[in-house]
């Protein structure tokens, strides 16, 4: 696998900021790859070879009514509570977005009748802690006992479920079974139904406005190794609402107002996600009239920057994420 343009391509001269970001991205991949390998193998029993693409309602990524907040700009991204679910769940270290997508995939494939426990107590049976990846490792707690990585993942999942509940995407149970008995709700969550009763989840029908994630996103481990901002960017391009027209199918050109006020996606997160996705072979980026450092030709003259043309490369998800990551980052 090789991307058309990568971090080490001779036509790209990394700034110190970009070089620092690449090193951090490499370290993040190295930290999660063993857990991602295990989680991918487990998840394949629920999202098996030959599974259909996972269908998502557009309301998961896109707000029909724009965010009405005069303080919002590329220097001040929308407050979390005003964003659509996909970017509302984005965090730098949590797993709420990845867990929500995994739960939707498992639900749609119907391979977990009766639900799953957060952590299985039965040998050779899976719980949610087996289906998600985390860089956490076993360590000694302050009290001196050994806290297992599995126990840390359980805590991360319950924290994620709390965040997902706040977004109106799940209904939690009561008492001791609060997290075990969670029920998925419609992907639009509170953002789409403010002040209204939240709807139980059902698979989207044929006449609904949807977009699709390839099954390989889950089956081949991409859901585990990609960072939240990278996933949110893929979802935005896949959703595609508000894009300027382009002659090539699947190509999106989304201006800053739509990106901010409808997708809740800030410039820094957008810029940070472009190069890794491109190098991993998941995104084609047409940087029209751009300099190697990302600035556009004519920016010193005050000219408006041309929009990036973006296309998700579905065939990239057919590749094993760990193999690609190891090749790209030399880990």
Q: Between these two residues, 214 and 17, which has the higher pLDDT value? A: 214
**Where would I find the beta strands (DSSP E) of 130-276?**
139-140, 146-147, 170-171, 183-184, 210-213
Does position 11 have pLDDT exceeding 60, yes or no? no
* C-alpha span between 277 and 224 (Å, rounded): 14
User: What pLDDT was estimated at residue 96?
Assistant: 97
User: What pLDDT was estimated at residue 123?
Assistant: 76
Least confident of 55-69, 108-122, 201-215, 239-253: 108-122
Cα–Cα distance list, 318 to 12, 222, 232, 240 (Å): 27, 10, 19, 22
- Tokens 């190295």 locate to 30
* C-alpha span between 11 and 110 (Å, rounded): 46
Predicted TM-score (pTM) of this structure: 0.90
Does position 295 have pLDDT exceeding 70, yes or no? no
Structure tokens at 21: 């970001």
Q: Between these two residues, 142 and 55, which has the higher pLDDT value? A: 55
Cα 140 vs. chain centroid, distance in angstroms? 31
User: What pLDDT was estimated at residue 146?
Assistant: 81
User: What pLDDT was estimated at residue 4?
Assistant: 42
* C-alpha span between 306 and 255 (Å, rounded): 9
* C-alpha span between 142 and 134 (Å, rounded): 21
Residue 39 main-chain phi, psi, to 5 deg: -65, -35
Contact between residue 120 and residue 31 where contact means Cβ atoms under 8 Å apart? no
Q: Exposed, middle or buried: residue 37 (CB in 10 Å: 0-12, 13-18, 19+)?
A: middle
Does position 6 have pLDDT exceeding 90, yes or no? no
Does position 70 have pLDDT exceeding 60, yes or no? yes
Phi-psi region of 50 (alpha: psi -120 to 50; beta: other; left: phi over 0): left
Candidates 135, 138, 140; CA nearest to 149 is 138
Least confident of 22-26, 28-32, 201-205, 247-251: 247-251
Cα 269 vs. chain centroid, distance in angstroms? 12
Q: Between these two residues, 60 and 122, which has the higher pLDDT value? A: 60
Structure tokens at 266: 């800030």
Least confident of 102-111, 258-267, 269-278, 310-319: 102-111
Q: Between these two residues, 258 and 292, which has the higher pLDDT value? A: 258
Q: pLDDT confidence of 9, banded at 50, 70, 90?
A: very low
Return mean pLDDT, the chain: 87
Q: What is the separation, in whole angstroms, between the first and last Cα of the chain?
A: 15
Q: Between these two residues, 297 and 169, which has the higher pLDDT value? A: 169
Does position 254 have pLDDT exceeding 60, yes or no? yes
Contact between residue 170 and residue 181 where contact means Cβ atoms under 8 Å apart? no
């Amino acid at each position: 696998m090789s991307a058309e343009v990568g971090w080490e391509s001779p036509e790209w001269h990394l700034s110190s900021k970009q070089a620092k970001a690449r090193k951090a991205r490499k370290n993040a991949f190295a930290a999660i790859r063993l857990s991602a390998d295990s989680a991918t193998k487990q998840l394949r029993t629920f999202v098996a070879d030959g599974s259909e693409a996972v269908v998502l309602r557009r309301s998961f990524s896109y707000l029909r009514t724009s965010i009405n907040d005069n303080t919002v700009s590329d220097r001040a991204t929308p407050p979390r509570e005003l964003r659509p679910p996909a970017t509302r769940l984005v965090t730098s270290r949590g797993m709420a977005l990845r867990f929500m997508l995994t739960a939707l995939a498992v639900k749609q494939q119907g391979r977990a009748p009766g639900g799953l426990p957060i952590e299985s107590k039965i040998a050779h049976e899976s719980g949610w802690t087996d289906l998600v990846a985390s860089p956490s490792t076993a360590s000694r707690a302050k009290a001196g006992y050994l806290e297992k990585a599995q126990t840390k993942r359980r805590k991360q999942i319950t924290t994620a479920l709390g965040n997902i509940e706040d977004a109106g995407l799940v209904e939690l149970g009561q008492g001791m079974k609060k997290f075990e008995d969670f029920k998925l709700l419609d992907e639009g969550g509170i953002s789409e139904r403010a002040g209204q009763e939240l709807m139980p989840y059902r698979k989207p029908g044929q006449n609904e406005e949807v977009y699709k994630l390839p099954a390989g996103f889950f089956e081949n481990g991409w859901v585990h190794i990609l960072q939240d901002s990278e996933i949110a960017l893929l979802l935005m391009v896949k959703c595609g609402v508000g894009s300027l027209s382009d002659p090539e199918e699947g190509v999106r050109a989304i201006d800053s107002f739509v990106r901010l006020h409808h997708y809740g996606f800030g410039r820094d997160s957008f810029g940070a996600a472009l190069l890794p996705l491109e190098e991993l072979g998941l995104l084609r980026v047409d940087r029209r009239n751009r300099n190697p450092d990302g600035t556009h030709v004519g920016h010193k003259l005050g000219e408006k920057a041309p929009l990036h043309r973006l296309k998700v490369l579905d065939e990239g998800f057919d590749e094993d994420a760990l193999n690609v990551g190891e090749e790209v980052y030399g880990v």
